[in-house]
């Protein structure tokens, strides 16, 4: 929790505050009690509840009056008294907070108590006919303990049928169910789940499931040692499971040796007669590996495996490789082969025009028309087009917020709770309240709410709500100067450009201090804990805790420092540093090791084999333009303001003057535009 305002540590001070606030209530309405007093009392009451001082916390409820977070204090009291509550008392409080976010937290706490006490009858009575989320195994245990074996079997079979590993706490539940099956039934369900595991790419789980199954020795061996497919693939029985096993193993082998496994694919296709969908999946995987590996034969392979241009993903890669070869005629030919809805995307329109200019060695009327249309919009390719035309960037900033709606929206109960939770530093809870409240608003009200969040200093809510409202052109809401003082100081200390730091953070988390990715990256700049430890070591400071990574000042300081180190590591090239921030420096170094020439940066970005990183770089570069203009004093940047990043009206995103050096080139000698 972020501490704000006064810090109350003394029990005597708490007592005085409580008496003072209650005295105010004796002579005036709660609406007139100073908000600062309510906030301080709430904070102390929460501490009291968590530390077992239930009477003090309970007394504060009356003193708090209409303070929006009274339900959250009641939640803390509910949890503090959880194991002393009777079923009727718990039910009464749950009914009082039914259909609210606080009520859902109370329900979860109560269900957890029932599970810990193994009070299975009450658990089933409370949960009804559907297992609560995340407690399926406990639900089955309850069914089994109360003699409802048929229902337990039904829910266990449903639980079993997943291609992913289940929590260890489910082991007993699964073992009880399997024990009740015949040997033949056990083999059947193990084969079924192993097939699901292969479909999800979980080879380890599939091998584990087949360990005790007769006639599964060869399948287990291939799962353990994929290279055995070269010797044993031709003797595998042709059946549905083995077809799936072969496809899965070929995909694994493609990452190790795509040339040898490519030959094996076509040999085994004669035996297993893969469907068109299965061959499509294999072709897609081999294409990715061949392209990522920078194989010399990639172009010929694409020509041979996509003769009729039926796979637009492969056709797009033929365009990219033609760009790399500077084969401008082929670029236009391959773009023409793309489906119409793909061909008219901004990226391929831009590259068609670039190819036209290169072929004719002049700005053709056709290319100029395409580029003019693109340059009238906002985005990465629009900015590149403006660079080619030597035009100002047109950001199209427009504000439509109806400020008269803000008081109305601000006083909605959910919004009041979100505001106070955010003020106290309970950002995740605030986010939950905010999202629910926003769902019931009209589009115009959502825009007003986004402005309200921005006024509170809650940039993440402003960004996400503006996006939800499809308010694409309000650049104040979509690109706020969040945590400005921290960013300014941190970027200066790291020796990097402020707009670049802002663009990275905007792309990473949209300034969500509570953000956590599926792989564990945390905070505003989405630092992995392992990366943060390395940064802390380089900075000469103690390793950060997970809580530190969710503290904006710490996260931003470490993230900008890391950005600065990456740029030094990659010879001052901010594009390579941006790529490394997303994909990891080692992956980008491997790309450079395969590179044999100096490549224009726009072409280098387009040929990056990691799709997510390609789009990441483009977004960061485009966001850098917007932030560059905002930091130049353009409050609502647009072409009409005449406010540009540089005096000549151009902001040189990258093309065509920035080059990415190969591993042997003199990086300092490679031509570069000014860093963003």
Q: In 3-state terms, what secondary structure has residue 660?
A: strand
Pair of tokens at residue 339: 């489906």
Res 665: pLDDT: 41
User: How far is residue 267's CA from residue 233's CA, in Å, rounded to a whole number?
Assistant: 9
CA-based nearest residue to 74, from 116, 86, 54, 607: 54
Count of Cβ atoms closer than 10 Å to residue 325 Cβ: 12
Q: Is the pLDDT of residue 91 over 90?
A: yes
Distance, C-alpha 272 to centroid of its chain:
39
Please compute the mean of the pLDDT values over residues 336-343 and round it to a whole number: 96
Q: Please report the DSSP string for 329-391 in residue order.
A: HHHHHHHHTS-HHHHTSHHHHHHHHHHHHHHHTS--HHHHHHHHHHHTS-SHHHHHHHHHHT-
* pLDDT, tens only, 175-187: 999 999 999 999 9
User: How far is residue 664's CA from residue 595's CA, in Å, rounded to a whole number?
Assistant: 9
How buried is residue 626: exposed, middle or buried, by Cβ count under 10 Å (0-12/13-18/19+)? buried
> What pTM was computed for the model?
0.87
CA-based nearest residue to 567, from 504, 479, 631, 650: 504
User: How far is residue 356's CA from residue 367's CA, in Å, rounded to a whole number?
Assistant: 6
CA-based nearest residue to 123, from 131, 111, 136, 108: 111
pLDDT band at 659 (very low <50, low <70, confident <90, very high): low
- The secondary element (H helix, E strand) that includes residue 563 is helix 552-569
Res 33: pLDDT: 78
Res 389: pLDDT: 94
User: How far is residue 169's CA from residue 639's CA, in Å, rounded to a whole number?
Assistant: 60
Residue reference for tokens 């409202």: 469
Res 538: pLDDT: 96
Res 214: pLDDT: 83
- The secondary element (H helix, E strand) that includes residue 659 is strand 659-660
* pLDDT, tens only, 276-291: 999 999 998 999 889 8
- The secondary element (H helix, E strand) that includes residue 199 is helix 183-199
Res 142: pLDDT: 97
Please compute the mean of the pLDDT values over residues 375-383 and round it to a whole number: 94
Mean pLDDT of the chain: 89
Please compute the mean of the pLDDT values over residues 95-107 and round it to a whole number: 96
Res 523: pLDDT: 97
In 3-18, which positions are buried (b, 16+ CB within 10 angstroms) versus exposed (e)?
Answer: eeeeeeeeeeebeebb
Residue 107 near residue 134 (C-beta atoms within 8 A): no
Res 268: pLDDT: 97
User: How far is residue 286's CA from residue 291's CA, in Å, rounded to a whole number?
Assistant: 8
Q: In 3-state terms, what secondary structure has residue 599?
A: strand
Q: How far is CA 263 from CA 137, 562, 589, in A?
A: 46, 43, 29
Res 341: pLDDT: 95
Res 295: pLDDT: 85
Q: Is the pLDDT of residue 664 over 70?
A: no
* pLDDT, tens only, 2-32: 344 333 344 544 554 555 444 444 444 445 6
Q: Please report the DSSP string for 438-451 in residue order.
A: HHTS-HHHHHHHHH
> What is the phi/psi pair of residue 644, to 5°?
-120, 160
* pLDDT, tens only, 397-452: 899 999 999 999 999 999 999 999 999 999 999 999 999 999 999 999 999 999 99
Res 654: pLDDT: 55
- Counting residues of the chain whose pLDDT is more than 70, the rounded percentage is 89
Tell me the residue length of the chain. Answer: 676
Q: How far is CA 61 from CA 41, 56, 381, 502, in A?
A: 9, 9, 57, 42
Give every CB contact of residue 325 below 8 A, 6+ residues apart in sequence.
299
Res 296: pLDDT: 84
Res 212: pLDDT: 85
Count of Cβ atoms closer than 10 Å to residue 647 Cβ: 6
Res 651: pLDDT: 42
β-pairing, 599-600 with 659-660? antiparallel
- The secondary element (H helix, E strand) that includes residue 600 is strand 599-600
């Amino acid at each position: 929790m972020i501490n704000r305002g006064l810090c109350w540590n003394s029990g005597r001070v708490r007592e005085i505050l409580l008496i003072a606030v209650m005295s105010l209530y004796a002579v005036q309405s709660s609406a007139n009690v100073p908000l600062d007093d309510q906030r301080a009392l709430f904070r102390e009451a929460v501490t009291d509840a968590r530390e077992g001082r239930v009477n003090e916390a309970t007394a504060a409820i009356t003193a708090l009056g209409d303070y929006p977070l009274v339900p959250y204090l009641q939640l803390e009291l509910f949890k503090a008294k959880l194991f002393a509550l009777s079923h009727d008392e718990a039910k009464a409080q749950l009914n009082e907070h039914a259909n609210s976010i606080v009520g859902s937290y109370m329900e979860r706490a109560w269900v957890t108590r029932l599970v810990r006490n193994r009070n299975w009858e009450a658990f089933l009575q409370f949960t009804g006919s559907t297992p609560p989320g995340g407690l399926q195994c406990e639900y089955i245990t309850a069914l089994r303990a109360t003699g409802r074996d048929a229902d337990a079997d039904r829910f266990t079979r449903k639980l079993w049928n997943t291609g992913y590993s289940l929590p260890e706490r489910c082991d007993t539940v699964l073992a009880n169910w399997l024990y009740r099956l015949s040997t033949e039934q056990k083999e059947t369900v193990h084969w079924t789940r192993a097939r699901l595991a292969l479909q999800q790419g979980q080879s380890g789980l599939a091998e584990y499931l087949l360990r005790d199954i007769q006639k599964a020795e060869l399948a287990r061996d291939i799962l353990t040692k994929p290279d055995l497919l070269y010797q044993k693939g031709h003797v595998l029985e042709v059946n549905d499971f083995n077809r799936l096993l072969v496809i899965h193993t070929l995909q694994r082998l493609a990452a190790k040796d795509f040339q040898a496994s490519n030959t094996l694919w076509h040999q085994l296709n004669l035996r297993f007669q893969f469907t068109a969908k299965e061959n499509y999946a294999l072709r897609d995987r081999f294409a990715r590996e061949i392209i990522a590996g920078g194989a010399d034969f990639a172009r010929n392979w694409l020509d041979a495996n996509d003769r009729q241009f039926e796979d637009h993903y492969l056709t797009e890669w033929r365009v990219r490789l033609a760009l790399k070869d500077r084969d401008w005629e082929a670029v236009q030919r391959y773009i023409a082969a793309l489906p119409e809805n793909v061909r008219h995307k901004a990226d391929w329109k831009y590259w068609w025009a670039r190819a036209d200019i290169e072929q004719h060695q002049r700005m053709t009327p056709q290319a100029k028309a395409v580029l003019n249309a693109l340059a009238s919009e906002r985005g990465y390719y629009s900015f590149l087009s403006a660079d080619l035309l030597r035009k100002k960037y047109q950001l199209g900033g427009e504000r439509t917020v109806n400020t008269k709606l803000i008081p109305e929206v601000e006083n909605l109960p959910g919004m009041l709770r979100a505001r106070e939770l955010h003020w106290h530093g309970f950002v995740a809870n605030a986010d939950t309240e905010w999202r629910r409240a926003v769902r019931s608003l009209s589009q115009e009200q959502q825009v007003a709410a986004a402005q309200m969040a921005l006024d509170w200093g809650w940039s993440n809510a402003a960004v996400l709500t503006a996006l939800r409202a499809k308010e694409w052109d309000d650049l104040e809401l979509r690109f706020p100067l969040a945590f400005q003082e921290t960013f300014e100081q941190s970027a200066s200390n790291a020796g990097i450009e402020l707009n670049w730091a802002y663009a990275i953070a905007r792309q990473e988390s949209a300034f969500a201090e509570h953000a956590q990715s599926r792989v564990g990256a945390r905070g505003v700049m989405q630092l992995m804990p392992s990366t943060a430890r390395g940064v802390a070591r380089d900075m000469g400071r103690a390793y950060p805790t997970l809580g530190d990574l969710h503290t904006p000042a710490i996260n931003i300081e470490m993230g900008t420092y890391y950005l600065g180190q990456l740029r030094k590591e990659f010879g001052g090239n901010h594009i390579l540093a941006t790529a490394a921030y997303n994909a990891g420096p080692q992956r980008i170094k491997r790309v450079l090791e395969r590179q044999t020439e100096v490549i224009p940066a726009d072409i280098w970005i387009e040929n990056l084999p990691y799709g997510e990183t390609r789009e990441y770089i483009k977004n960061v570069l485009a966001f850098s333009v917007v932030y560059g203009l905002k930091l130049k004093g353009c409050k609502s940047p647009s072409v009409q303001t005449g406010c540009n990043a540089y005096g000549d009206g151009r902001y040189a995103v990258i093309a065509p003057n920035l080059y990415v050096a190969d591993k042997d080139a003199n990086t300092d000698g490679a031509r570069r535009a000014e860093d963003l």
